[in-house]
């Protein structure tokens, strides 16, 4: 089992970044992939010019790749911003302005999975007030996603790299998923299980998979240490993916790893070419 019959997609915000954004979909297709995901590509523009959205839509369509996941605006990633939900004022407003734009853009390409990063603590601001704002904004996003029958994804980051993010464990992310669903009554918030972040937190991945697969709607992978391709670190991905399947997960596995110093296309040797293209 392991990699067999698994649906893999490529994150074009961390792979193929040696190319301009509009060239990445075709590069992913040339490498054999039929599905991609993206962090919000315009790090300074929650609401980019329509022509920029149209150009990216055309690049994805022309390449023949499906968009299966899209992050809401979260500033510069990876980097110090790490999200905007718990930041009062301007960043919260930017997030809210982005939500309908991202939902319309994603839905126009058949995407129904939207990832909302929680955000970092702001020094000098009451944490309870930040969490209340985060829940309010997440509920806002969940309702917008619900209009296209989509899923709001919530993930845990890792404490070593994101020490001021409140969501740095699977249980905390699940707690937030449950809170959003209770707030909206829509039951369309789900866990994004990023095995790299969870392993960096020192969590028992087998236990996380057993406990939370039922609430998981997307999985992302990178090896640890180093956030490289499977096989560059110590994580046993065939066993982990097999465990996910046995627990009932049949969704996408997003490749969200760093390709190293070589071109991104050379980082897929671990994955046989016939397994890169998957039916939806």
Q: Residues 37, 91, 203, 256: which is the catalytic one?
A: 256
Classify burial at 178, counting beta carbons within 10 Å of its beta carbon; exposed 0-12, middle 13-18, buried 19 or more: middle
Q: What is the 3-state secondary structure (H, E, C) of the chain?
A: CCCCCCEEEEECCCCCCCCCHHHHHHHHHHCCCCEEEECCCCCCCCCCCHHHHHHHHHHHHHHCCEEEEEECCCCCCCCCCCECCCCCCHHHHHHHHHHHHHHHHHHHCCCCEEECCECCCCCCCCHHHHHHHHHHHHHHHHHHHHCCCCEEEEECCCCCCCCCCCCCCHHHHHHHHHHHHHHHCCCCEEEEEEHHHHHHCCCCHHHHHHHHHHHEEEEEECCCCCCCCCCCCCCCHHHHHHHHHHCCCCCEEEECCCCCCCCHHHHHCCCCHHHCCCCC
The reply to whether 256 belongs to the active site is yes
Q: Residues 155, 161, 175, 203: which is the catalytic one?
A: 155
Closest by CA position to 24, among listed 250, 279, 265, 268: 265
Classify burial at 90, counting beta carbons within 10 Å of its beta carbon; exposed 0-12, middle 13-18, buried 19 or more: exposed
The reply to whether 147 belongs to the active site is no
For the annotated catalytic residues, the residue numbers are: 155, 256
């Amino acid at each position: 089992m392991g990699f067999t019959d698994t649906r893999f997609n490529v994150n074009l915000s961390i792979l193929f970044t040696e190319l301009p954004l509009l060239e990445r979909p075709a590069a992913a297709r040339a490498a054999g992939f039929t599905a991609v995901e993206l962090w919000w590509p315009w790090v300074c523009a929650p609401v980019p010019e329509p022509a920029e959205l149209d150009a990216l839509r055309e690049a994805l369509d022309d390449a023949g790749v499906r968009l299966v996941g899209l992050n809401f605006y979260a500033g510069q990633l990876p980097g110090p911003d790490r999200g905007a939900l718990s930041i009062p004022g301007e960043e919260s407003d930017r997030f809210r302005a982005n939500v309908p734009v991202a939902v319309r853009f994603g839905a126009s390409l058949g995407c129904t999975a939207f990832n909302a990063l929680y955000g970092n603590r702001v020094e000098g601001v009451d944490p309870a007030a930040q969490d209340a704002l985060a829940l309010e904004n997440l509920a806002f996003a969940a309702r917008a996603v619900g209009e296209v029958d989509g899923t709001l994804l919530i993930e845990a980051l890792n404490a070593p790299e994101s020490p001021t993010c409140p969501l740095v464990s699977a249980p905390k992310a699940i707690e937030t998923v449950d809170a959003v669903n209770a707030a909206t009554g829509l039951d369309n918030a789900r866990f994004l299980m990023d095995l790299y972040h969870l392993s960096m937190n020192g969590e028992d991945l087998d236990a996380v998979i057993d406990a939370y697969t039922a609430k998981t709607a997307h999985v992302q992978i990178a090896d640890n240490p180093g956030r490289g391709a499977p096989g560059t670190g110590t994580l046993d991905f065939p066993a982990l993916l097999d465990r996910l399947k046995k627990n009932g997960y049949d969704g996408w596995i997003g490749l969200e790893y760093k390709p190293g110093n070589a071109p991104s296309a050379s980082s897929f040797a671990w994955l046989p070419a016939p397994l890169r293209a998957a039916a939806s």
